[in-house]
Amino acid sequence: MIGRCTHVVDCRETSGMGKGGSLAQRGTFAECGTDVCAVAMSPGRRHITKPVCEITFGLRESNVLTSTVVLNAGAGVPHDAPASGGTLFGITEKEIDQLNNFKLLVIHLGGVANHIIYKARLILRNVNKPCVIICESPVDCEDFAKIGVKTSKVMPADEDIKTQGTIKDIVTGVIRGETISQEKLDEIIRKVKLALGDA
């Protein structure tokens, strides 16, 4: 085959929001193969899912079949996070079933370090899959391991493990609502392929 590679994407449970190119709404499940699933938070004023679309495009261009899930309750923080209040973050049984069908998750989180680590813990507590975390804050494996999240570089003590899934890698400095730089996109593609064992 020469040139372009065509991917069929079965997209959108609901119509787009019409903000910045018709963003996918909460509850969207866009299916494209079973290798990688990009997990996006619910879109809103603070949660602009723009980089998620660019990330999935970039991965598909690199021949990594990437599906997308936009969480129904992806805003706010989990109930067990310190100083939680306001909007509660959660994951539904249907979303857990969807995510369990993939080899690797690419979870796009926000800019508040405390929110990022607890959201990742809640997802990985329910889904036994490896993942790559993409976020804005400069977090590392140490931060996740401290609250019982299994990571490839730092492992909590056996009695402190609170997740089934494991963080394979982290990409920081990806800003919500901003166009992602080619350098960051290349880093994500490289780390995703490594986590899949393709690199």
Q: Map out the domains of the chain as residue ranges.
A: 28-196
Please give the CATH number for the structural domain made up of 28-196: 3.40.50.360
Each of the 199 residues of the chain gets a pLDDT tens digit; together they read 445 554 444 444 444 444 444 455 666 787 888 899 999 887 665 555 678 888 998 999 999 999 988 888 887 888 888 876 667 888 999 999 999 999 999 999 888 888 899 999 999 999 999 999 999 999 999 999 999 999 999 999 999 999 999 999 999 999 887 889 999 999 999 999 999 997 4
Spatial contact of 138 and 168, defined as CB atoms under 8 Å apart: no
What residue has token string 């990022």? 116
- The model's pTM is 0.85
